[in-house]
Structure 1
Amino acid sequence: MSAPNHFHTQRLTQENGLTLSLRHEPRLKQCAAFLRVHAGSHDVPTAWPGLAHFLEHLLFLGTDRFPAGDNLMAYVQRHGGQVNARTQARHTDFFFEVPSAAFEGGLERLCDMLAHPRMNLDEQVREREVLHAEFIAWAREPSAQRQLSLFQPLNPAHPLRAFHAGNRFSLPIPRPAFQQALADFYQQFYQAAHISLVGPLPDTTLKALAERYTDQFAKGSAPRQSRPPTLMLNHQSVYQQLDAKHLDLLFALEQLPEACSAALEYACHWLSADKPGSLLAYLREHQLCHSLKAEVLYQFAGQALLHIEFSATHNIAQNATQISDTFYDWLAFFSTQHQHPALRNEYILQRQRQQEVCSALALARSEIELPDQSLEALTCVLQQMLPATPPAPQHTWQLPPPNPLLVTPKEPINAGLIRGQTSAHRGLRTFAQDRLRSRRDHSAMRFSADLPEAGHEAAIYLRWRLTAPPAASVQLALANSLRPLKHDARHAGVELSGSACGTDWLLKMQGFHAPMPAILEHALRALSALEAAQGAPAVAPLMPIRQLLKRLPECSQPGIEPTLSDASQCWARARWDGLAVGLPSATAPLISAALNKAPGTPDGHLPRAEYSAQRRWITETCDSNEQAVLLFCPAPTGDLRAEAAWRLLAQVAQTPFYQQLRVERQLGYAVFSGLRQLNGQTGLLFGVQSPHAPVAEIFEHIRAFLGGLPTLIATLDETTFMQARDALAQQFLPTALSGPQASELLWQATLAGHSSGYLEALYAELIGLDLRTTLVAAQQINRPECAWLCLATQPETESFLLGES
């Protein structure tokens, strides 16, 4: 059913009851820890809804040993990693990922914050307000409202019907009963957890680190979690909901075998398949819907709530019955074929491929969620989903064709020979060979040698400079042309995407290198045969800050009118260039051959994109009561010294910005900052979404922080400055950068006009950076000539227009 567990994984149980999963993975550049506590929002006493989520927040506030400025979040951000936590119905997860050299410090802080929480009442009051803001933002999000409506037909006594997010009214912090419940919940459930450590470090090192820092957890056994009541009161196993553009089928499954996770995942995989012969392909061909999503909304103690969502750009109600009948018709077919070797083998290959390319963090999570291989569980799931009296067959279904990209290609033909030649012909040049060599030599695709050929990860970037920015209809046509290929490519370990930025359109591939030549050839054929898109793109409503982030890349360049609105003319006079990173030398000729099918004209000397030298404010209206601001502050020049200084500013500012605007001023839940590169331009990005503050107030808080940035830099002592600088520089060593990180950096360097050797040069600039140069950069940000780009949900403020600082 599913891919077997990695044979190098060690699973141990500590004396204190903690379960360890250790996995040495040499291909990785980073390490990850994923810790699961076996308690979630449904395990909280009914008197205190939101307590589990609230405790998750409190644990990140720091400990006596590692206060806020040096806690897990600050430490991971300082080393260029990622960190988060998530409270689910029956478990809570804490996880982070950092370069290997910084892993021990992160693990030490993770274990300390879980073993020695600081339950300060003043901090609790402040964090409750943050959680309240998060609750308001979540409650206003259309997707959250839709999900709540999906649960309404369930048993009112089931925890899925209850309120669990927590807010200022459900968390009475001063009451002794609440404080006792908080302490009891922590003591009962925050023990006997499961922690997974994954990375390139040897097994012995991972084990030693785990034993060194997890022995401080309290001794205990896995807590007993109460079993919920039945999902439905009327013994039904399915119900349906319908709105203007969605048809939802929900299956309330009961008494499933213990080994059912993989069965549910397997069913969702084939239900959502977007390939010829699939259920979705049939529905789309007959214009019944445009997308289908299958996901498990809940699973615990033999119960599962499986959600099948059909979406359309038109009113779906008129086709609801036909869609439902077609679904059950396909499901009856699948129930007779689910044990077919072709389906099972392809699924196993796909799971194995994902294991070969996914990040350390994704691997660490997979080691927590142990796969099972029960066919009986799938049979039980399908039996409960099928109606007692299935509809009459409507269509003769067939198994979908196998994914050809999952098959490892044979060794490429010797690059020095053409078809029909053998090694005996070596040295005999022909006109055809001369022509092929000439086309390769003059190709606009650059094969980067900045990274050694190691492992099996690579990336390809292909950029077209169009005559005008593509209109929404053209972007939809481009997306539709690649849609079936993206499905197969993802399962073969390659993320394929297309995006627009000004007059440029970018095709990007990242992942397993072996299928890339075939994917590129198919993609270029599809793009060359571009046809006008039918209908309008379906855009799900986004929370304001996400909507601004989505618009940011296309706003980074001043608008150029008119837009390109005819898909058939997309490639007329288009020019392209590209970059390939990490490809084996034997694969390069295959890529060059595929590029002969690229539409447009190759041009290895495309000029850099033009950027505005003036401050710009773009208003993006959102259908929300909350307001959001994104402020992008670009470096004044594109040289590496300026980039190094801007990167250090971003790192130093990250924790104070979060602390001031989120924790102290409590502007909202979504508060972040960091370095961002937009089409080769480097800048600092600040973002805030607030449930109560207007845009003018949010902007003034950001502007005030920037005004104080020079003082923040100037007050750094030499030791602190050097530690921050060196920690940043270490992130750009080849031993620290993952394949996707390195390829993205090299592509941005290409767009910025940097030559080869960029990573080494950037490291040298960073390691040589001094305090004075960094201070000058902090002062430059506040000068009127720094061309700020602000995206906001309300019109510009007077101080922005005047360029005040």
Structure 2
Amino acid sequence: MPAPTHPRPHTETLANGLRVTLRHVPGVKRSAAALRVAAGSHDVPLAWPGLAHFLEHLLFLGTEHFPASQGLMAYVQSHGGQVNASTRERTTDFFFELPPASFRAGLERLSDMLAHPRMNPDDQVREREVLQAEFVAWSQDAAAQQKEALFEGLSAAHPLRGFHAGNRDSLPVEQADFQQALRDFHQQFYRTGQMILSLVGPQSVEELRALAEQFAAALTAGDKTSQAAPVRLMDTPQASYQQVGERNGNLLFALEGLPKSSAEALAFLCHWLNSAKPGGLLAHLQQQGFAEGLQACVPYQFAGQALLHIQFTGASGSLDALRAQFLDWLSFFAAQQDWPALRQEYAMLLERQQQVSGALQLARIDSERLENGLCDSAVAALKVILGKIGTVDNFSSHWHLPAANPFLRAAEPLANAGLIRGQTSAHRGLRTFAQDRSRSRRERSPMQFSQALPDNGDEGAVYVRWQTEAAATAELQAKLQRSLREVSDDARQAGVELSFNATGNQWLLNLTGLQDTLPVVLEHALKSLTQVGADSAKGEPQPALIPIRQLLKALPEKCLTAVGESDDAAHLWTTSRWDGLALGLSPQTQSAMGLALSRIPGIPDNQIPAPSVINAGLQWNQIDSDSSEHALLLFCPTASHEIADEAAWRMLAHLCQTPFYQRLRVERQLGYAVFSGLRQIHGQSGLLFGVQSPTATAAQLLDHIQQFLDGLPALVEQLDAASLTQQRQTLADQFDDNVLSGKDAAELLWQARLAGHSSDYLLQLRSAIAQLDRPALLAAAQRLIRAEGGWHGLANSPSPGAPWHAAK
């Protein structure tokens, strides 16, 4: 049985007015903070659109005490954590996650940057150009413009109709009155009464409170400032409107005067609207050929107002007909007396999601301060909302409530668990994958149960890999993905993340999450994948990606040796060879997986060779893009598969991250999407550099990256002995069992298996990092510069020419 969910967080208001939520989670390996400021884009004076977004950016540019190179972003990244911020209509959020030992220092940096921003004029000019680049990309992005057009039916006086991103024209940093407005906004809203701090970690509530008090002491104390209520959403008596786009239709409902708990009520309604199960709205629309997809969401909610958006994708019928179907289903939904079964299932899935959430996810949930589930006041609010939208007593008889999620209840023991093909009762589930390879046995299971991770926790991971005779066509890939949709949705709600990728001739099914649920999810997933039919051909239209995200999605396939394509799923399954890796599973879960594993299609094979990865020479791939912006990824694999080389590449990536960002984004102003880090693809480790720019061409971006790489030896030489020791220790600590999440550890071990390493890979990696010295790093930097492991360029532009070889 899954362990009980984490208790609700402790909440209180500190003496200086800062509201805090504190959640002690035993066993969680990271600590996280989420700070919500009750101020956003709609709180800015009309004369300065984008000021709130601009201020959010400025806060990350360093303070007198912590310059940018030592600030929150650099600190979190150097310790293997996560950090980001977001400006919305009425709130601004800052959040990060770190190992517990580093958490106090992270909080110190966050409070310092909020309380004492430097506001340097030169920094402001440079950062305004970043917002200008974002604005140019936004103005050219079709999806962003369609989203903006959704609000055209609202009142022209409502702030949703305004421009809030900020650009060169709206942010006159040279003017004294703009600087005064910037200071006034910061002083008015960035004080304790306007903030909620949520802390989550393995620390006790008392320890978290002490951290919160230390954080609060650095902030400006002050009462909460009222945020002005907006005008009505619509000028006309109508409370809704519709918009027709190319192959999609949109219904928007402007809701006013909403009662307490409306946010919970709308979340509940959207969840069931988005259900794809038989008997629901989406399933009926697909069956009748009216639409291929449906997405319900609440893009705006504040001060008793909300905007409910229903989007129909792949719409072939009239929007009036779709609206009629929507209202018919909604009337059926409203007729259910207080929704007891749906409320019970919804509460269960929220509990499951919290159970498998990491510290950062929990901190962000706590910052929303919403009730968990649908309480009585939310039921009353939902009835009010349904009344405002307009429901009737008469509706069609074909609707019915969705079937219960089969994974949310305790899993029944699977009958006849049986043995895995090729496995004997003498050795089922007892070996690590290193031991499996070292024993000379004719009968060995292709699914290797590793003891590299402890098996006494709630969570585990399963990887199943197929090597096929040919790559799946795009149409077949769409069929496979669509076949998994219902299983994937149910699994995610029950605490298991399920993904399937058909990359070239390497197909991978990955399940991570609550181990008690893994066997039954695997069984359902395999059944869905192997019963792909003609009705699975159509998938929902996928949202357009910005160029850099297109490249990231395409990179894994471009790193493989090209193979022919096939759309014959049955033949590909039958002739494929499969193996797998299971981690963190108890003996009971291993036994329960027997039936599912016996049904894996293909030929079991525990000696499948490593994926055929291209790692020689300078290879350039181009993908098509509708964007006028230029994007480039440069992937630089290690010179060998030796762990010593991987350790050196990881150290170089660790040292590069902040200087690369500083050089290309801050100093060179090349674009807003700038990143670097170590990436593992099909078992191949490599340094990955990425840039998207509205001005520089791919060839120019490549030149900037090469110049940066040429300076790597100097970067290593500049480190004194103490700094090198500290950086080495910081990196090694990221692979400590005490801070590495089970999901991250499982992925590292899977990549290690693909690379041919043993199951003590993590221990070996930490040891290799600890042994790195300056000469080893300098030698690695030279091998990287000489591209001894090959370089892969992927861009939305043609090859720059010799010495690069364009892929055919």
Match of 1:770 among 766, 769, 773: 773
Cα separation, partners in 2 of 1:33 and 1:385, compared to 1, 3 Å: same
Task: Read off the aligned partner of 1:59 and give its amino acid letter.
Answer: L
For residues 736 and 598 of structure 1, do their structure 2 counterparts lie closer, same or farther at Cα, with a shift above 3 Å needed?
same
Q: Spell out, residue by residue over 1:95-144, the C-alpha distance to the aligned partner (whole angstroms, 9 max, x if none).
A: 00111121111111111111111111111111111111112122222221
Distance 1:155 1:338, change over 3 A: farther
- Equivalent residue for 2:407? 405
In structure 2, give the amino acid aligned to 1:724. Q
Residue type of the alignment partner of 2:459: E
Counterpart residue identity of residue 344, structure 1: R
Given that 1:459 and 1:510 are in contact with CA atoms closer than 8 Å, whether structure 2 keeps it comes out as: yes
Displacement of 1:434 after TM fit? 9.7
Cα distance, 1:414 vs. partner? 11
Letter in 2 for 1:604: N
For the 8 Å contact 1:460–1:581, the answer to whether it is kept is: yes
Cα-to-partner distance string for 1:317-368 (whole Å, 9 max, x where unaligned): 5343332221111100001126221100000000000010011111001111
Within 5 Å, give how 1:339-418 maps onto structure 2. 339-372=338-371, 373=375, 374-386=378-390, 393-410=395-412
SS in 2 for 1:743: helix
2:436 corresponds in structure 1 to: none
Could you tell me which residue of structure 1 aligns to residue 162 of structure 2?
162
Q: Which moved more, 1:275-284 or 1:227-236?
A: 275-284
Look up the equivalent residue of 1:134 and give its one-letter code. E
Partner SS, residue 476 of structure 1: helix
After superposition, the Cα gap between the structure-2 partners of 1:537 and 1:317, relative to the gap in structure 1 and judged at 3 Å, is closer
Q: Which residue does the alignment assign to 1:178?
A: 178
Identical aligned residues as a percent = 50
Give the distance between the partners of 1:383 and 1:681, measured in 2 at CA: 57
Paired residues for 1:425-574 under 5 Å:
442-532=444-534, 533-535=536-538, 538-560=541-563, 562-574=564-576
Partner of 1:421: none
1:275/1:487 contact within 8 Å kept: no
Shift of 1:670: 0.5
Instruction: Output the CA distance in 2 between the equivalents of 1:361 and 1:689.
Output: 27
- Measure the CA separation in 2 of the matches of 1:18 and 1:284: 49
CA contact (8 A) 1:615 1:786 kept: no
Change (3 A) 1:491 1:114: same
Separation in 2 of the partners of 1:708 and 1:594? 52
Name the residue aligned to 2:798: 795
Structure 2 unaligned runs (5+)? 430-442
- In structure 2, C-alpha distance between the alignment counterparts of 1:7 and 1:403, rounded to whole Å: 24
Give the drift of 1:518.
Answer: 0.6
Q: Does 1:255 align with 2:257?
A: yes
Which stretch shows the higher mean deviation, 55-64 or 467-476? 467-476
CA distance in 2, matches of 1:739, 1:97: 16
Q: Give the C-alpha shift of residue 285 in structure 1.
A: 1.7
Secondary structure class of the residue paired with 1:148: helix
Residue 572 of structure 1: how far off its partner (Å): 2.6
Q: Which residue identity does 1:546 align to in structure 2?
A: R
**Partner amino acid, structure 2, of 1:376:** A
Q: Shift in Å at residue 569 of structure 1? A: 1.8
Instruction: Give the secondary-structure state (helix, strand or coil) at the position aligned to 1:625.
Output: coil
- Give per-residue Cα distances to partners, 1:630-676, cap 9 Å, x unaligned: 00000010111011111111110000000000000000110111110
**Equivalent residue number for residue 440 of structure 2:** none
Give the match for residue 38 of structure 1. 38
Q: Which moved more, 1:297-306 or 1:794-803?
A: 794-803
CA contact (8 A) 2:479 2:539 kept: no
Extract unaligned runs of 5+ from structure 1.
Answer: 419-429
Q: 1:484 deviation in Å?
A: 1.1
Report the equivalent of 2:134: 134
Give the Cα separation in 2 of the matches to 1:582 and 1:74. 33
Please say if residues 620 and 793 of structure 2, whose CA atoms lie closer than 8 Å, have aligned partners that are also in contact.
yes
C-alpha distance in structure 2 between counterparts of 1:468 and 1:7, whole Å: 50
Distance 2:451 2:779 in 1: 34
Aligned residue among 615, 626, 631 for 2:629: 626
Q: State the TM-score, normalized to the length of structure 1.
A: 0.94
Structure 2 CA distance, aligned partners of 1:397 and 1:128?
A: 53
Q: 1:244, 1:317 within 8 Å by CA — same for their partners in 2? A: no
- State the match for 1:744 in structure 2: 747
Q: Is residue 309 of structure 1 aligned with residue 314 of structure 2?
A: no
Letter in 2 for 1:401: A
Do 1:44 and 1:52's aligned partners in 2 also have CA atoms closer than 8 Å? Answer: yes
Distance 1:255 1:466 in 2: 58
Counterpart secondary structure, 1:496: strand
Partner Cα separation in structure 2 for residue 584 and residue 50 of structure 1: 53
1: CA distance between counterparts of 2:427 and 2:247? 53
Which residue number corresponds to residue 330 of structure 1?
329
Q: 1:35 to 1:266 in 2, by over 3 A?
A: same
2:107 alignment partner in structure 1: 107
The one-character-per-residue Cα deviations of 1:679-735 (angstroms, maximum 9, x if unpaired) are 100000000000111111111111111111121112211111111110010010110
Deviations 1:198-229 (A, max 9, x none): 01122222111111222111111111000000
Distance 1:456 1:87 in 2: 35
**Judging changes above 3 Å, is the alpha-carbon distance between structure 1 residues 433 and 769 closer, same or farther for their aligned structure 2 residues?**
closer
Corresponding residue for residue 643 of structure 2: 640
- Cα drift, residue 801 of structure 1: 2.3
Match 2:738 to one of 711, 735, 739: 735
Counterpart of 2:275 (choices 262, 273, 276) is 273
Residues 754, 393 of structure 1: CA spacing in aligned structure 2 closer, same or farther, 3 A cutoff? same
Provide the C-alpha distance between the structure 1 equivalents of 2:427 and 2:76, rounded to a whole number of angstroms.
Answer: 49
Q: Secondary structure at the match of 1:462?
A: strand
Check 1:800–1:82 CA distance in 2 against 1; reply closer, same or farther (3 A cut).
Answer: farther
- CA shift digits 1:576-620 (9 cap, x unpaired): 011111112210011122111111011111101122222210011
Separation in 1, partners of 2:91, 2:787: 50
SS in 2 for 1:489: helix
Letter aligned with residue 137 of structure 1: A
CA contact (8 A) 1:412 1:586 kept: no
Larger deviation, residues 77-86 vs 374-383: 374-383
Q: Give the 3 Å change call, closer, same or farther, for CA 596–39 of structure 1 in structure 2.
A: same
Q: Give the TM-score of the pair, scaled to structure 2.
A: 0.94
| Deviations 1:540-591, CA, capped at 9 Å, x for gaps | 221110111110111111212x212222322131010111111122100111
**In structure 2, the residue corresponding to 1:587 is in which secondary structure?**
helix
Residues 377-398 of structure 1, C-alpha deviations (whole Å, 9 max, x = no match): 11111111125x68x6344211
Q: What amino acid is aligned across from residue 277 of structure 1 in structure 2?
A: G
* Aligned counterparts of 1:636 and 1:433: Cα–Cα separation in 2: 36
Report the counterpart of residue 320 of structure 1 in structure 2: 319
Q: Which residue of 2 aligns with 1:220?
A: 222
Q: C-alpha separation between the residues in 2 aligned to 1:414 and 1:75?
A: 52
Which of 651, 654, 666 aligns to 1:651? It is 654
Q: Partner residue of 1:297?
A: 299
Using a 3 Å threshold, how does the CA distance of structure 1 residues 167 and 581 change in structure 2: closer, same or farther?
same
Distance 2:423 2:81 in 1: 48
2:69 match: 69
Single out whichever of 235-244 and 654-663 deviates more from structure 2: 235-244
- Structure 2 equivalent of residue 684 of structure 1: 687
Asked whether the 8 Å contact 1:24–1:198 carries over to 2, the reply is yes
Quote the RMSD (CA, aligned, Å).
2.1
Aligned equivalents of 1:514, 1:221: Cα separation in 2: 48
Whole-Å separation in 1 of the counterparts to 2:697 and 2:339: 58
Structure 1 residue 161, shift from structure 2 partner: 0.1
Q: d(CA) in 1 for partners of 2:424 and 2:326?
A: 53
CA distance in 1 between partners of 2:388 and 2:248 (Å): 23
